[in-house]
A and B are shown apart, each in its own frame.
Chain A
Amino acid sequence: MRVTMVVDGVSYTDEVEPRTLLVQHLREKLGKTGTVVGCDTGNCGACTVHVDGHSVKSCSMLAAQADGCEITTIEGLARDGKLHPVQQAFHDNHALQCGFCTPGMIMQAIDLLADDPDPDERTVRHGLEGNLCRCTGYQNIVRAVQDAAHRLKPAAEADRERETVAGGE
């Protein structure tokens, strides 16, 4: 069957078998290998992408179900060579070791910050419930998400700019 979807701002139309998983379509047909597969059961969250603005596990959805939808993957976050603030916060807070869970963690973190721009630690941990990390012990991931929340706040932006100006940088 024929499916059309906008992925990271580009529209693609392809023939797919009905059984094709969305993640498989993204990786194998569209070359979006930034999104990874970590399990067969829908538990790990490594494959998380946004479909029409909400996080989903792209291994638990058929490409056919995404027909007509708008998809954002980890590859679509950076702007003009500049990392998304959540990506930058993961980098700065050493929120990854092997990095396999990271694409999914970041996509889910962005979703949770959209629902709650200033989450406490408990809210972050609950919001990342569907994402498993086998390396970090989660501490720095939680830290990174809270750091990102501060960076994303419009007030914080203004403050930082003022500081920069005051500091003469």
Chain B
Amino acid sequence: MIPSAFDYARPSTVEEAVQALVDAGEDAKVLAGGQSLLPVLRMRLAAPTVVVDIGRVPELRGITEDADNVVIGAMTTHYDVARDHLVQDHASLIARATETVADPQIRHRGTFGGSLAHADPAGDLLAPALALGAVMVVAGPNGRREVPASEFFVDYFTTTLAADELLVAVKVPKHTGWLSHYEKFNRVAQAWSIVAVGVSLRVSGGQIADARVGLTNMASVPVRAVGVEQALIGQPAGADVLRAAAEHAAEGTSPGSDGNGDAAYRSQLAKVLTGRALSMAVGG
């Protein structure tokens, strides 16, 4: 099928984009890379009256750094994020997770900010952003504000973004030299994660000095596996410690049940995948 008719706006600055959203009211949709939106429009699961295409706003693309953060423009594609040296050096968990998103064609078009704003709990970038303490830079009619990832995700497909607000960039605090792995479980190629686990560890002299663990699709929003983190910090990075820590993975989560598996199955998966992710991060 083809989408139902809509008006199309193509702003060239963030301010114009916000104005287009203000003018359009509640019925507007922001078109970023379009890899989730276009299929939804084609199946007519959504029929916005206005589509605001932010693909020609130069400020939204590219990756920079400041003293403490890697700053990822919202419209930077998955392909560019995964290959970027700043991301690989200072936020390797983001690179590892991004490599697993969908398939190559979709990674060429899909964007970092689009995935976060879409807030699908099975999306692979939410948990890594949360685990690394990312901060969302949001533009609206009254200027810009910053929202930590821990407050940004509200529910299934729901963020704190208002209808007239736009995600501009994401500041990811530098985790230079941390060991990372993203372990994703799905049944067929290009399918969404049933459960996935992102881990990032700072290991020094064989000891785990710090740990961040984020879970994908274990609740309506991404969650930090705090129990796992606490069981790791200050311990030697050995197989026994990793295995024991992974046992805490499902604590405090509220996974859904669907055709891919029920809540108990997801909880078990979270532990198994956390164990794998930890040993992969330490071993390679």
What is the interface of chain A, defined by CB distance below 8 A to chain B?
A: 1, 17-21, 24, 40-43, 45, 48, 51, 54-57, 59-62, 64-65, 108, 111-112, 127, 129-131
Check A42–B35 contact: CB distance below 8 A: yes
Contact of A129 among B38, B42, B43, B189 (CB under 8 A): B189
Q: Given A42-B39, A62-B34, A65-B53, decide whether A19 and B102 contact each other with a Cβ distance below 8 A.
A: no
Total B residues in contact with A, Cβ cutoff 8 Å: 30
**A and B contact pairs by CB, cutoff 8 A, 29 listed:** A1-B8, A17-B5, A18-B5, A18-B6, A19-B4, A40-B1, A40-B39, A40-B42, A42-B35, A42-B39, A48-B105, A51-B108, A54-B79, A57-B109, A59-B38, A59-B42, A60-B34, A61-B109, A62-B34, A64-B8, A65-B34, A129-B103, A129-B189, A129-B190, A130-B104, A130-B105, A130-B106, A130-B190, A131-B103
A118 and B1 CA atoms in complex are apart in Å by 38
Known contacts A19-B6, A40-B1, A40-B43: does B103 contact A130 (CB below 8 Å)?
Answer: yes
B3 interface contact, C-beta 8 A: yes
The one of B2, B55, B108 in contact with A20, judged by C-beta atoms closer than 8 angstroms, is B2
Chain A contacts of B3 at CB under 8 A? 19, 21
The residue of chain A having its C-beta at the shortest distance from the C-beta of B41 within the complex is: A19
B residues sitting closer than 8 Å to A (CB atoms) are: 1-8, 10, 31, 34-35, 38-39, 41-43, 51, 53, 55, 79, 102-106, 108-109, 189-190
